[in-house]
Amino acid sequence: MKEFKILAVVIFFTLVTYWLVEPFAHSQMHAHVESEGFSYDDLPPLEKTGDATRGQELVMGAGGCIGCHSIEAAGFPAAMSPVDNSAAYGVNPPDLSNAGGIYAAKFLAALIKNPTQALMVEHKFTPESGKMHPMVAFYGAGGDIDQEVADMVAYLQSIAPKPDQITPKQAFDTACGRCHAVKYENWTQIGEKPAFKKKRDELVFLTQVEDYNANLMGYMGKLPPDLSMYIRSRGEHYISTFIENPQNLLHGTAMPRVGVSKDGAEKVIEYLVEAGDPKHAERDSVGIKVMIFLLVFAAASYLWKKEIWKDLH
Amino acid sequence: MAHFTKATSVHDWLNQRLAIDTLQRVLSKEYWIPKNINFLWAMGMVLAFTFGILLVSGIFLLMYYQPNVDTAFDSVNYTIMREVDFGWLWRHVHAVAASVVFLIIYIHMLTGIYYGSYKKGREMIWISGMLLFVAFSAEAFSGYMLPWGQMSYWAGMVITNLFSLGSLEFNGLVEWIRGDYVPGQAFLDRFFMLHVLLIPLAILGVIGLHFGALRIPHVNNQDGEEFDFDEEAAKYKAGNKKESKVIAFANDFLSKDMFVVSIYLIFFFYLVFWHFGFAMDPINFDPADGLKTPPHIYPEWYFLWSYEILRPFPKDPGLVAFGFAQVIFFLLPWFDRSPNAVPASRRGLFFFWFWAMVVDLIILTAMGKLPPVGVYSLIGEVAAYGFIALWVILPFITRNEKRV
């Protein structure tokens, strides 16, 4: 039938234009970065099996971790406020309670031995720049260093919640939340903004955020962006590959490699989806209903047209 | 004063005061439409529907949007998208409709060109339609500014810069338009006013003109057949509906219109719920930042072809070519010198001209978005020259066309 032929022509040219303007143009403007599957192939493999009890002694003692890090889960609260910590280190060192459940074991081991390599910030902390990475490498407590590192990782894994018990928010907090705000979720770099009764208390809190961010800006070079809408502006694939290796997408960026496991990355993305697109489930359910209505409407209008036109032909 | 009698019904009461029977007769029951037209003639109704959707969704958005450089972005992306019940629905409907309306306008325009519906007698339909296109373009551009995202800001910067008129450097004019040296609060305020009041008002007026312009010449038909509407209408009224070449707008053509609209709505709401991203540039989900230029600045897809006519040339010739592209379609009824108002397939060379124009516009659209480097830059330049060349040859290839 002639009308179908015309419709096919219209659809053909519409789709060609769409393809050129959307998928094709975007593929030309943004190089596609393939996911590395969070395998961290450039880092040395973990060959030793760790002993959590030995690891605990190292973390609490010779390893020196609790000199800077708090471990709330093991009864070691932070000695200083986030703002004071950021004044000392540039950024608040993370609490290690969840670290074993969020980060890849291989990454944690590499981080303990050589932070700048694991974090991929060797371009920033060069001898010429005179800058030192705030986290000091662990040079061993006198035994087999690989065994000692494996023990410490085993300890961190033993105190952390199981990966499937970690909430998206916990994953985000530990992995991203000390540098990035998510204002649509009320998240600031020093934690969730509480509901204040008095304006004065709110201003005190906001001043702390400002102070923290000033230190963070000095450390990173600029204030890391608010991530509220990143799921919309960047998309899941970009964020996922960016978390995996920021240098692949933004060469020379001060953002460190985060080192999350595949599971940890999915949790972070889940958090960002809820922040930037909280109505996705509602959209799907309303969408189905609207479609059913429209199909009925189309059928009814077709019957109406047939009824009217039977007198005309 | 006219003589009023005691009304026998509500209908009669209204009829005596508003002549609703006459209105219904003139506007629908005896508004004659040729019978041999295809679904492309329903695009007018599809456009009217889409404009209605834009108006209603826009009113809902207007209740929560804040035209302030500090709060505009959050009022759209937080308040409307998260706090207001179904705010996301109105926003996606508005954004998708704003994009799809241009797809339908282009189909409507190209239909008119293909069937010669702008020819002698129907010039006012064409001109008022082109005025609507310009008004919709201004409406779309001013609306694009309002969420105050990165692309809004930089598109505002680039487009207003055009008013410095190249080497003439009318920078004072640019500042006067912006109300500032760069897009700022004054800029947002005035574009807000243009978007929600002045341009919609103009659009409503021109829609009236466009409909009015159809009244005397009537719409064209699929075969370019000329017939006496009064004679055919008489047949219809006498009950010979099958023999008559015309049908009434309501309910005859309306029933077909509504069927086309219903199919269109399925497509439209599929986009709204599951593919709204195509209509919303990701870069506009970053808040405006005057210190950070996006790596690629490009307009929305429906402006890409005219942007690409500007881009490959040096500053001044580029502006002239851009100006040419903006006005040349208005002059189509005079550039096309053939006496025929028949489908392009029966017009010889014009048939090739039409499809060359379609292909050229698509190439320009694609190249307008791609980075202007290497072979894309070259293809864009050739297509821009091609566009101008097509208009230059049009009077010559149509001059000797035989009457069919």
Chain A residues lying within 8 Å of B269, measured CB to CB: 287, 290-291, 294
CB A156 within 8 A of CB A56: no
Give the amino acid at B135.
Answer: A
How far is residue B134 from each of residues A160, B105, B334, measured CA to CA in Å? Answer: 62, 11, 19
C-alpha–C-alpha distance, residues B115 and B220, integer Å: 8
**Cα–Cα–Cα angle for A12, A16, A19, rounded to 5 degrees:** 135
Contact assignment for A278 to B82 by CB distance below 8 Å = yes
Rg (CA), chain B: 24
Which tokens hold the place of B287? 């808040």
Interface test mutation site (partner B, options A186, A242, A312, max chain B beta carbons within 10 A): A312
- ipTM of the prediction: 0.95
- Determine the residue of chain B that is closest to A293 in CA distance: B266
Give the amino acid at A127.
Answer: P
Chain B residues lying within 8 Å of A278, measured CB to CB: 82
Contact assignment for B273 to A283 by CB distance below 8 Å = yes
Chain A residues lying within 8 Å of B242, measured CB to CB: 311-313
Which band of pLDDT confidence, cut at 50, 70 and 90, is reported for residue A84? very high
pLDDT tens digits for range B246-281? 999 999 999 999 999 999 999 999 999 999 999 999
CB A185 within 8 A of CB A227: no
- Determine the residue of chain A that is closest to B272 in CA distance: A287
Interface test mutation site (partner A, options B73, B108, B370, B376, max chain A beta carbons within 10 A): B370
- Nearest 10 degrees: Cα torsion B128, B364, B357, B96: -50
pLDDT of residue B228: 93
Contact assignment for A279 to B88 by CB distance below 8 Å = yes
Which band of pLDDT confidence, cut at 50, 70 and 90, is reported for residue A1? confident
Tokens 């143009």 belong to A25
Contact assignment for A294 to B266 by CB distance below 8 Å = yes
Outline where DSSP puts E strands in B163-313: 246-248
pLDDT of residue A171: 95
pLDDT tens digits for range B174-215? 999 999 999 999 999 999 999 999 999 999 999 999 999 999
- Determine the residue of chain A that is closest to B111 in CA distance: A10
Q: Does B113 touch chain A (CB under 8 A)?
A: no
How far is residue B341 from each of residues A57, B59, B212, B224, B317, measured CA to CA in Å? Answer: 92, 41, 20, 6, 35
Contact assignment for A184 to B38 by CB distance below 8 Å = no
| Alpha helical stretches, state H, B179-223 | 185-193, 199-214
Average pLDDT over residues A71-85: 92
CB A303 within 8 A of CB B232: no
Outline where DSSP puts E strands in A38-174: none
C-alpha–C-alpha distance, residues B198 and B397, integer Å: 41
Tokens 């005079």 belong to B334
- State yes or no: pLDDT of B1 exceeds 80: no
Q: Does B373 touch chain A (CB under 8 A)?
A: no
pLDDT tens digits for range A45-76? 888 888 999 999 999 988 889 989 999 999 99
- State yes or no: pLDDT of A301 exceeds 80: yes
Contact assignment for A287 to B269 by CB distance below 8 Å = yes
Chain B residues lying within 8 Å of A309, measured CB to CB: 252, 255-256
Instruction: Report the gap between the CA of A183 and the closest CA in chain B (Å).
Output: 10
Residue among B229, B170, B172, B226 nearest B403 (CA): B226
Chain A residues lying within 8 Å of B36, measured CB to CB: none
Which band of pLDDT confidence, cut at 50, 70 and 90, is reported for residue A129? confident
Give the amino acid at B25.
Answer: R
CB A199 within 8 A of CB A206: no
Torsion region of A250: left, alpha or beta (phi above 0 gives left; psi -120 to 50 gives alpha): beta
Contact assignment for B285 to A24 by CB distance below 8 Å = no
pLDDT of residue B403: 87
C-alpha–C-alpha distance, residues A96 and A99, integer Å: 5
Chain B residues lying within 8 Å of A21, measured CB to CB: 301, 304, 365-366, 369
Contact assignment for A294 to B89 by CB distance below 8 Å = no
Contact assignment for B273 to A284 by CB distance below 8 Å = yes
Q: Does B45 touch chain A (CB under 8 A)?
A: no
Chain A residues lying within 8 Å of B241, measured CB to CB: 311-312
Instruction: Report the gap between the CA of B41 and the closest CA in chain A (Å).
Output: 11
Of A3, A28, A284, the CB nearest to B370: A28
pLDDT of residue B184: 95
**Cα–Cα–Cα angle for A223, A260, A109, rounded to 5 degrees:** 110
Chain A residues lying within 8 Å of B57, measured CB to CB: none
Mean pLDDT of chain A: 93
CB B338 within 8 A of CB B358: no
Which tokens hold the place of A114? 């050589």
pLDDT tens digits for range A204-247? 999 999 999 999 999 999 999 999 999 999 999 999 999 999 99
DSSP A224: P
- State yes or no: pLDDT of B119 exceeds 90: yes
C-alpha–C-alpha distance, residues A299 and A294, integer Å: 8
Of A279, A294, A313, the CB nearest to B262: A294
User: Is there a cis peptide before residue B340, judged by omega within 30 degrees of 0?
Assistant: no
Contact assignment for A22 to B89 by CB distance below 8 Å = no
Average pLDDT over residues B326-339: 95
**Cα–Cα–Cα angle for A56, A99, A70, rounded to 5 degrees:** 65
Contact assignment for A294 to B242 by CB distance below 8 Å = no
> How many of the other CB atoms lie within 10 Å of CB of A77?
8
Instruction: Report the gap between the CA of B272 and the closest CA in chain A (Å).
Output: 8
Interface size between A and B, measured as CB pairs under 8 A: 123
Contacts of B8 (CB under 8 A, 6+ apart): none
Tokens 């035209």 belong to B67
CA B109 to mean position of chain CA atoms: 8
Q: Does B272 touch chain A (CB under 8 A)?
A: yes
The dihedral sign for the CA sequence A78, A80, A83, A84? negative
Chain B residues lying within 8 Å of A6, measured CB to CB: 38-40
Q: For chain A, how far is it from start to end, CA to CA, in angstroms? A: 16
CA A4 to mean position of chain CA atoms: 48
pLDDT of residue B299: 94
Residue among B321, B303, B323 nearest B387 (CA): B321
- Determine the residue of chain A that is closest to B301 in CA distance: A21
- Percent of chain A past pLDDT 90, that is, above it, reads 82
Tokens 């409907």 belong to B93
- Percent of chain B past pLDDT 90, that is, above it, reads 94
CB B64 within 8 A of CB B80: yes
| Alpha helical stretches, state H, B115-184 | 123-145, 150-161, 171-178
What number of CA atoms fall less than 13 Å from residue B253's CA on the CB side? 25
C-alpha–C-alpha distance, residues A63 and B36, integer Å: 87
pLDDT of residue B2: 83
Which tokens hold the place of B310? 């500007």
Of B255, B274, B362, the CB nearest to A13: B362
Which band of pLDDT confidence, cut at 50, 70 and 90, is reported for residue A143? confident
Interface of B with A in 242-261 (CB under 8 A): 242, 247, 251-252, 255-256, 258-259, 261
- Determine the residue of chain A that is closest to B255 in CA distance: A305
Of B89, B261, B285, the CB nearest to A232: B285
Contact assignment for A13 to B272 by CB distance below 8 Å = no
Mean pLDDT of chain B: 95
Give the amino acid at B84.
Answer: V
Instruction: Report the gap between the CA of A47 and the closest CA in chain B (Å).
Output: 43
pLDDT tens digits for range B122-164? 999 999 999 999 999 999 999 999 999 999 999 999 999 999 9
CB B269 within 8 A of CB B53: no
pLDDT tens digits for range B93-109? 999 999 999 999 999 99
C-alpha–C-alpha distance, residues B127 and B106, integer Å: 15
| Alpha helical stretches, state H, A136-279 | 145-159, 168-175, 199-220, 230-233, 236-244, 246-249, 262-276
Contact assignment for A233 to B362 by CB distance below 8 Å = no
Which band of pLDDT confidence, cut at 50, 70 and 90, is reported for residue A140? confident
pLDDT of residue A127: 83
Q: Does B267 touch chain A (CB under 8 A)?
A: no
Give the amino acid at B203.
Answer: I
Chain A residues lying within 8 Å of B91, measured CB to CB: none
Which band of pLDDT confidence, cut at 50, 70 and 90, is reported for residue A130? confident
Instruction: Report the gap between the CA of A26 and the closest CA in chain B (Å).
Output: 8
- State yes or no: pLDDT of B14 exceeds 90: yes
Which tokens hold the place of A140? 């061993």
Of A13, A24, A298, the CB nearest to B358: A13
| Alpha helical stretches, state H, B284-373 | 304-310, 315-328, 332-335, 349-369
Long-range contacts of A251-255 (CB under 8 A, 24+ apart): A252/A123, A254/A121, A254/A124, A254/A220, A254/A221, A254/A222, A255/A179, A255/A220, A255/A224
pLDDT of residue B327: 95
Contacts of B45 (CB under 8 A, 6+ apart): B257, B258, B260, B261
Interface of B with A in 338-367 (CB under 8 A): 358, 362, 365-366
pTM here is 0.94
